[in-house]
């Protein structure tokens, strides 16, 4: 027996020794713990956790506040900060395996590192660089103090890693990958979009929502100005909101939310003003079909009748194998005058898109948070570093507004820019971008209110005050979509000439489908189908009696919503299955689980996190937006929410300009730490549609302090 084990050991050793040395994953840079601690000691950040565990950061400088925020966020969600860093280096495949290799190749193809190296010192101001460095110093400190949580080879983080994260990811918020989808094969399609990070379900359509409302004094019952911040994101993962509050003696005082790996909050409220984002989808991407000299190994492409040399460099990344081993990969990277080039089974295509090499998004958001009034805030927008998003704005003196924000290419009129373009015409290679002043926007409309719900920007207030589509170039590619949420908002607000606080909060959480919505149209059509099947007939009776409401008590919502999402997708915009077949499938499963096909919606529509399991109002594309696993009924009989309403803020400035601010998070401050009391302590409030107060000054925070500490000191 001993001889056999010795023989097996010798064979194993020979096998290990035969693995090429280059397959051993590099250890990464050495961590200088003392230098990291010394850097951290230069900051003076006071972190006060309130009764909900929300971090309120107080510092003398903005950098102090950023340092405290970085450390607090690392305490609550180190897992995703680390994961965001891996992606920001183009190293996902080294840690996650071959499925992530396409996105690492795209990272190199888009020359993210090169752009950041070239522009970090020239396009980012010293103040911006100081908050980035402070955040980096905080994250590195946390890693030194908690080495067991750190993956090998990841730390230390650098300032350029943070900026690269913005440069790499922001184009995917407007679905760059979706625009290029037809160029990818099933094997090389990158799962990099924020909308593909909703859950293990990989549902790219499921959270492309968000709502924002601003009400001017002229439209409110009491002369107040009000803002609803209601951006829809995944409830878990890299793109789940993290709530924080940053204050400095340099004028920073912002409560809001950000993402892992970012040193600032992307949206929120200050004592003077506030804003929120909703996703838009302007045409910011162009694809060009190239005529090349060799289909298999091209070196040149034709432009204006002349052959041009490709710029050819290398993409180098590693793919995880097992244990300490990873496979080094090297691939050619081709660039034409248009931009990066994808070689596919159907040809060679150049890509040109807004945000290629853009590094100033972090700076723009930072300066938006420092603005003291509307002029300063709008001045920050002029940088055009934030590539997309509708933005809703309100402030303490009664200004409101909405802008269809985009880094909009300045294209020539005539060509169909929505289609693949000929790559041999230099006139189609745009060089410049539209001024922010040329984008669709409304500031202080006479109607006294604006909103955004991911629909056309030409229908965001009373009809008399809207912009006209004909006033803007077709080269913008502005979407024409009208969501159910936009229909309901218009129905509710247009018919209310004087909106109270209670009405605004009720409208924000409205649970109904408009009769003109695609779901209700499907319901009407299904109810009219002739069928001899008793189960179908029973289901039709339920649909005929359903009023389109998705309150917990509704007895028709389960059948209608599950059928609708199965047939039309989570946003009711794509055909994914035959509606009649999906109706029968859903009715059958409901009857099997509940003994009836019309159980109360709240029995099925749930928020489950740790040991909390609660009923929810709402559904996909209603103003109380809840996206839950439509096939949960098949698995467990319940649908767990994974996206939609998440972090919400309600800002109210009275006639004197004094702010009252409330907020809610779908889970809590520490959503990845099951041992924390703040893992899911906000779920009961969230499920009931209630809010918690958000204090904005040190004196207001201190009575609720549960922890008070200074990281690095």
Summarised one tens digit per residue, pLDDT across range 583-642 is 999 999 999 999 999 999 999 999 999 999 999 999 999 999 999 999 899 999 999 999
pLDDT of the residue at 6? 46
Between the alpha carbon of residue 577 and those of residues 562, 568, 582, the distances in Å are 12, 7, 7
Going by pLDDT thresholds of 50, 70 and 90, the confidence category of residue 15 is very low
Residue 426 predicted with pLDDT over 80: yes
Residue 248 near residue 61 (C-beta atoms within 8 A): yes
Q: What is the CA radius of gyration of the chain?
A: 26
Residue 11 predicted with pLDDT over 80: no
Span 496-515, pLDDT tens digits: 999 999 999 999 999 999 99
Count other C-beta atoms under 10 Å from residue 37's C-beta. 15
Span 69-90, pLDDT tens digits: 999 999 999 999 999 999 999 9
Nearest to 229 by CA among 378, 366, 393: 393
Going by pLDDT thresholds of 50, 70 and 90, the confidence category of residue 573 is confident
pLDDT of the residue at 571? 83
Q: What is the 3-state secondary structure (H, E, C) of 47-91?
A: EEECCCCCEEEEECCHHHHHHHHHHHHHHHHHHHHHHHHHHHCCC
pLDDT of the residue at 1? 35
Span 274-326, pLDDT tens digits: 999 999 999 999 999 999 999 999 999 999 999 999 999 999 999 998 888 88
pLDDT of the residue at 8? 35
pLDDT of the residue at 226? 98
**C-alpha span between 76 and 67 (Å, rounded):** 15
pLDDT of the residue at 17? 46
pLDDT of the residue at 18? 53
pLDDT of the residue at 253? 98
Residue 631 near residue 640 (C-beta atoms within 8 A): no
- 26 or 376: which carries more pLDDT confidence? 376
**C-alpha span between 54 and 562 (Å, rounded):** 35
Between the alpha carbon of residue 701 and those of residues 302, 458, 686, the distances in Å are 64, 41, 22
Residue 622 near residue 571 (C-beta atoms within 8 A): no
Residue 194 predicted with pLDDT over 60: no
pLDDT of the residue at 132? 98
Strand 340-344 and strand 347-353: the pairing is antiparallel
Nearest to 643 by CA among 200, 255, 181, 189: 200
pLDDT of the residue at 185? 61
Residue 23 predicted with pLDDT over 90: no
Catalogue all structural domains in the chain, each as residue range(s) with its CATH number. 518-622 (1.10.1400.10)
- pLDDT (average), residues 182-204: 53
- pLDDT (average), residues 476-490: 94
pLDDT of the residue at 208? 59
Going by pLDDT thresholds of 50, 70 and 90, the confidence category of residue 492 is very high
Average pLDDT score, the chain = 92
CA-CA-CA-CA torsion for 484, 576, 604, 594, nearest 10 degrees?
Answer: 130
Span 358-380, pLDDT tens digits: 999 999 999 999 999 999 999 99
Q: Which residues pair with 441 in a beta bridge?
A: 403
**C-alpha span between 632 and 337 (Å, rounded):** 49
Q: 254 phi and psi, to 5 degrees? A: -125, 125
- 197 or 416: which carries more pLDDT confidence? 416
**C-alpha span between 380 and 374 (Å, rounded):** 10
- 199 or 213: which carries more pLDDT confidence? 213
End-to-end CA distance of the chain: 59
pLDDT of the residue at 205? 42
- 29 or 507: which carries more pLDDT confidence? 507
Span 91-141, pLDDT tens digits: 999 999 988 888 899 999 999 999 999 999 999 999 999 999 999 999 999
**C-alpha span between 142 and 398 (Å, rounded):** 42
Cα 223–229–234 angle (5° rounding)? 165
- pLDDT (average), residues 160-184: 87
Specify the DSSP class assigned to residue 25. Answer: P
Nearest to 612 by CA among 671, 558, 542: 671
Going by pLDDT thresholds of 50, 70 and 90, the confidence category of residue 707 is very high
Span 213-255, pLDDT tens digits: 999 999 999 999 999 999 999 999 888 999 999 999 999 999 9
Between the alpha carbon of residue 710 and those of residues 134, 218, 713, the distances in Å are 14, 45, 6
pTM: 0.93
Query: What length does the chain have?
Result: 713
Q: Which two tokens stand for residue 52?
A: 């909900």
H runs (alpha helix) in 574-649: 579-594, 601-604, 632-635
Residue 348 near residue 292 (C-beta atoms within 8 A): yes
Between the alpha carbon of residue 488 and those of residues 211, 294, 452, 510, the distances in Å are 12, 55, 12, 8
**C-alpha span between 582 and 284 (Å, rounded):** 36
Nearest to 246 by CA among 54, 388, 75: 54
% of residues, the chain, pLDDT over 70: 94
Q: Which residues pair with 422 in a beta bridge?
A: 289
Q: Which residues pair with 315 in a beta bridge?
A: 331
Residue 189 predicted with pLDDT over 70: no
pLDDT of the residue at 13? 38
H runs (alpha helix) in 124-191: 126-145, 159-173, 176-179
Q: Which two tokens stand for residue 500?
A: 């109270």
């Amino acid at each position: 027996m001993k001889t056999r084990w010795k023989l097996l050991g010798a064979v194993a050793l020979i096998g290990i020794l035969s693995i090429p040395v280059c397959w051993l994953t590099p250890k990464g840079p050495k961590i200088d713990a003392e230098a990291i601690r010394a850097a951290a000691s230069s900051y003076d950040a006071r972190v006060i956790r309130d009764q909900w565990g929300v971090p309120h950061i107080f510092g003398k400088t903005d950098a102090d506040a950023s340092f405290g925020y970085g450390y607090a966020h690392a305490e609550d969600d180190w897992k995703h900060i680390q994961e965001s860093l891996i992606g920001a280096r183009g190293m996902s495949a080294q840690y996650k395996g071959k499925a992530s290799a396409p996105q690492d190749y795209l990272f190199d193809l888009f020359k993210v590192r090169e752009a950041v190296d070239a522009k970090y010192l020239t396009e980012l101001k010293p103040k911006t660089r100081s908050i980035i460095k402070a955040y980096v110093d905080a994250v590195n400190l946390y890693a030194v103090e908690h080495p067991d949580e750190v993956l090998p080879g990841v730390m230390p983080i650098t300032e350029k890693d943070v900026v690269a994260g913005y440069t790499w990811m922001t184009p995917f918020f407007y679905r760059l990958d979706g625009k290029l989808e037809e160029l990818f094969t099933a094997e090389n399609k990158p799962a990099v979009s924020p909308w593909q990070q909703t859950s293990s379900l990989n549902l790219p359509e499921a959270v492309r929502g968000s709502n924002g409302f601003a009400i001017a004094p002229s439209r409110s019952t009491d002369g107040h100005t009000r803002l609803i911040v209601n951006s829809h994101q995944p409830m878990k993962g890299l793109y789940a909101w993290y709530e924080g509050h940053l204050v400095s003696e340099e004028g920073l005082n912002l409560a809001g939310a950000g993402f892992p790996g970012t040193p600032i909050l992307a949206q929120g409220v200050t004592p003077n003003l506030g804003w929120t984002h909703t996703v838009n989808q302007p045409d910011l991407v162009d694809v060009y079909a190239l005529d090349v000299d060799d289909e298999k190994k091209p070196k040149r492409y034709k432009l204006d009748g002349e052959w041009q040399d490709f710029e050819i460099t290398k993409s180098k990344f590693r793919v995880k194998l097992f244990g300490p081993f990873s496979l080094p990969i090297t691939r050619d990277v081709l660039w034409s005058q248009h931009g990066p080039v994808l070689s596919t089974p159907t040809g060679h295509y150049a890509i040109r898109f807004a945000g290629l090499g853009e590094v100033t998004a972090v700076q723009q958001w930072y300066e938006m948070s420092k603005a003291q009034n509307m002029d300063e805030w709008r001045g920050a927008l002029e940088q055009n570093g934030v590539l997309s998003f509708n933005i809703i704005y309100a402030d303490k003196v009664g200004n409101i507004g909405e802008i269809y924000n985009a880094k909009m290419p300045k294209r020539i009129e005539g060509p169909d820019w929505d289609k693949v373009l000929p790559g041999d015409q230099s006139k189609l290679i745009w060089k410049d971008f539209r001024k922010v002043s040329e984008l669709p926007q409304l500031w202080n409309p006479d109607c006294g209110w604006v909103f955004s719900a991911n629909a056309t920007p030409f229908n965001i207030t009373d009809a008399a005050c809207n912009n006209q589509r004909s006033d803007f170039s077709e080269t913008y590619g502005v979407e024409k979509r009208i969501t159910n949420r936009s229909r309901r908002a218009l129905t509710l607000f247009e018919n209310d000439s004087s909106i109270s606080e209670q009405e605004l909060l009720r409208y924000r959480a409205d649970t109904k489908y408009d009769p003109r919505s695609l779901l209700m149209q499907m319901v009407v059509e299904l109810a009219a189908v002739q069928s001899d099947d008793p189960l179908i007939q029973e289901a039709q009776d339920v649909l005929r009696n359903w009023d389109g409401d998705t309150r917990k008590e509704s007895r028709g919502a389960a059948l209608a919503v599950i059928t609708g999402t199965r047939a039309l997708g989570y946003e009711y915009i794509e055909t994914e299955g035959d509606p009649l077949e999906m109706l029968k499938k859903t009715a059958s499963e409901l009857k099997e689980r509940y003994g009836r096909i019309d159980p109360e919606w709240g029995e099925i529509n749930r928020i489950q996190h740790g040991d909390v399991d609660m009923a929810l109002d709402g559904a996909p594309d209603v103003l109380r937006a809840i996206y839950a696993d439509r096939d949960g009924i098949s698995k467990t009989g319940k649908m767990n929410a994974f996206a939609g309403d998440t972090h919400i803020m309600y800002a109210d400035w009275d006639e004197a300009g004094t702010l009252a601010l409330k907020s809610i998070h779908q889970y809590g401050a520490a959503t990845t730490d099951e041992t924390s009391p703040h893992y899911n302590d906000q779920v009961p409030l969230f499920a009931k549609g209630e809010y918690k107060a958000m204090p904005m000054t040190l004196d207001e925070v201190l009575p609720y302090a549960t922890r008070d500490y200074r990281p690095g000191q």
